[in-house]
Amino acid sequence: MLDLKFVRENLEMVREAAARKGEEADINRFTAVDEQRRRLLSEVERLKNRRNVVSEQVAAMKKSGEDATAVIEEMRAVSARIKEMDSEIRGIEEELQNILLTLPNIPLPGVPVGQNEADNVPVRFFGEPPRFDFEPKAHWDIAAGLDIIDFERAGKVTGARFAFYKGWGARLERALINFMLDLHVNEHGYTEIFPPFLVHRNSMTGTGQLPKFEEDAFRVAGTEYFLIPTAEVPVTNLHREEIMPEEALPLRYAAYSACFRAEAGAHGRDTRGLIRQHQFNKVELVKFTRPEDSDAELESLTANAEEVLKRLGLPYRVVLMCTGELGFAAAKKYDLEVWLPAFNAYREISSCSNFSDFQARRAGIRFRRKGGRAEFVHTLNGSGVAVGRTVAAILENYQQGDGTVLVPPALRPYLSGLRGNYIGR
RNA sequence: GGAGAAGUAGCGAAGUGGUCGUAACGCGCCGCACUCGAAAUGCGGUUGUCCGCAAGGGCACGUGGGUUCGAAUCCCACCUUCUCCGCCA
């Protein structure tokens, strides 16, 4: 959410920033509602001041035994009018709040202006796409051959876009979660969090998933609980409505969670395999920083996520997202894209974003410098990394001509009982 | 699910219809004094937010309603926490 005063004073910038993100900001309606609110507010405040003054007089009159009936009668009318106006103002303020909640964050300087994927800027590459002396298979075919992931039965039991992991498939998934968490906690200095997988509507609003994107989330019928689309939601909201001392910053959390996404509007895309599931596992990195540190912290967060792919020996590239691809809440974003041989392309496996104070303002997350006023923190997060897509990447990049899959060395300590370093031999 | 208790500033806590939330008091924090320095001590300061060019004013005692000329204080509903009982992985 943007600051009310900031929007009022920078209408053109807000409109432009939204346009560059490919969204529309209804500035005219904002201005109309904002002005109406202020008009009503000064009027009702005058009435309230009168009520306060007169109430004091009533007290004094009663004390000295005077008759206050006339003033009380007058105040009855004033009070009724105040009640009417208060309710009108409440309606106006709700509308204003709803407008503010739908204004997208403003991109940071240095973010390339562009409309779509084509305008993103690759900033660095790691590794080489592997060469095969056989026709490489897609991960779902490899998995079927090894009998380690069962999509068909998941369709029977739950529905499309779900999977059963089985045997070494399940082991591989669990090994990756532990490998990633250990790396971030032991070597990168993050504190491990295991969050709730359901959150209340307020938390979804705090991080920006609501109110605009409700159709992308799963909601538990008859409740205000939502299945989390990412651990970002519970972990960022961990410090909602808090004021922390400056020394507490930066806070760095690493959280495993299952993630649930309705994938509305993705019908027909990535229908096979692990790339786009309704439920997937992810290790998420979340940071709270002082405003002046968020830029550097985004770089280190991205580097931390990259380290996962480096150690697994997976070829990838880092892409700086253009304004049109930033999404609603981000001010700057890098995507890590891993090489998938079956797609003959790089595909997103992590998304690292700086949200500046956008989420902090929505969620009321602040800090106080010594002797200063409370300021909003900056929040950042990034996948460190998506586990299902990592499984896909390992299966495809490490597949062998005989249908087996070599396990990357970094993962072997997490797969006790594996004979000969290959799944399927 | 049943019974009970509680939600006030960064934290603890007082305040039960009208000099008052610039919220007593304590802790913490900031400044000053004392000190070679620190501790201890003393003095002073320290909520947020909104409207307004300003002067000034409004709002907020978990949330939302209600009663009243006037509510932290009375009434209703809801949320959260705690204690006991029941159930339970």
Identify the residue whose Cα has the smallest distance to the C1' of B30: A371
Q: No. of H helices and E strands in chain A?
A: 12, 17
Q: Is the CB of A373 under 7 A from strand B?
A: yes
DSSP state of A187: I
Q: Is the CB of A54 under 7 A from strand B?
A: yes
Q: What's the whole-model pTM score?
A: 0.91
Question: Encoding tokens for residue A423?
Answer: 């799944």
For strand B, which nucleotides have at least one atom less than 7 Å from a protein CB? 10, 18-19, 29-31, 48-52, 56-59, 65-66, 68-70
A353 has catalytic annotation:
no
Q: What is the C-alpha separation between A85 and A91, in angstroms, rounded? A: 10
> Among the options A95, A192, A348, A375, which is catalytic?
A348
State which of A105-109, A221-225, A266-270, A365-369 shows the largest mean pLDDT: A105-109
Q: What is the C-alpha separation between A414 and A410, in angstroms, rounded? A: 8
Q: What is the pLDDT of residue A371?
A: 64
Q: What is the pLDDT of residue A271?
A: 87
pLDDT in tens, A229-266: 999 999 998 888 887 878 888 999 999 999 999 988 88
The interface pTM score, or ipTM, of the predicted complex is 0.80
Q: What is the C-alpha separation between A141 and A159, in angstroms, rounded? A: 19
Question: Encoding tokens for residue A48?
Answer: 């309230």
Q: What is the pLDDT of residue A51?
A: 86
Average pLDDT over residues A125-129: 97
A20 has catalytic annotation:
no
DSSP state of A216: G
CB neighbours (10 Å) of residue A42?
A: 9
Pairing of strands A316-320, A332-340: antiparallel
* Residue of higher predicted confidence among A273 and A94: A273
Backbone angles phi, psi at A347, to 5 degrees: -125, 145
Average pLDDT over residues A9-37: 91
In whole numbers, what is the pLDDT of chain A averaged over residues? 92
Q: Which nucleotide is nearest to A41 (CA to C1')?
A: B51
Handedness of CA A209, A214, A219, A224 (dihedral sign): positive
Identify the residue whose Cα has the smallest distance to the C1' of B70: A55
Q: Is the CB of A412 under 7 A from strand B?
A: no
Pairing of strands A225-227, A198-200: antiparallel
> Among the options A15, A261, A361, A362, which is catalytic?
A261
Q: Is the CB of A61 under 7 A from strand B?
A: no
Average pLDDT over residues A312-316: 98
3-state percent helix, strand, coil for chain A, nearest multiple of 5: 45, 20, 35
Q: What is the C-alpha separation between A391 and A383, in angstroms, rounded? A: 15
Q: What is the pLDDT of residue A85?
A: 87
Q: Which nucleotide is nearest to A44 (CA to C1')?
A: B58
Residues A217/A262, Cβ–Cβ less than 8 Å: yes
Question: How far: A62 CA to B74 C1' (Å)?
Answer: 21
pLDDT band at residue A319 under the 50/70/90 scheme = very high
DSSP H helical segments within A312-356, as ranges? Answer: none
Q: Is the CB of A425 under 7 A from strand B?
A: no
Q: What is the pLDDT of residue A45?
A: 87
Question: Encoding tokens for residue A119?
Answer: 């305008």
Q: What is the pLDDT of residue A201?
A: 86
Q: Is the CB of A202 under 7 A from strand B?
A: no
Buried b (16+ CB within 10 A) or exposed e, A176-201: bbebbbebbeeebebeebebebbbbb
pLDDT of A110 above 90:
yes
pLDDT of A373 above 80:
no
Helix (H) or strand (E) holding A245: strand A242-245
Average pLDDT over residues A327-348: 96
Backbone angles phi, psi at A90, to 5 degrees: -60, -40
Helix (H) or strand (E) holding A192: strand A191-193
Q: What is the pLDDT of residue A104?
A: 93
Q: What is the C-alpha separation between A383 and A378, in angstroms, rounded? A: 17
Could you say which residues 67-126 of protein chain A have a Cβ atom less than 7 A away from any atom in strand B?
Answer: 72, 75-76, 79, 83, 87, 90
Q: Is the CB of A51 under 7 A from strand B?
A: yes
pLDDT in tens, A377-402: 899 999 999 999 999 999 999 999 99
Question: How far: A371 CA to B33 C1' (Å)?
Answer: 20
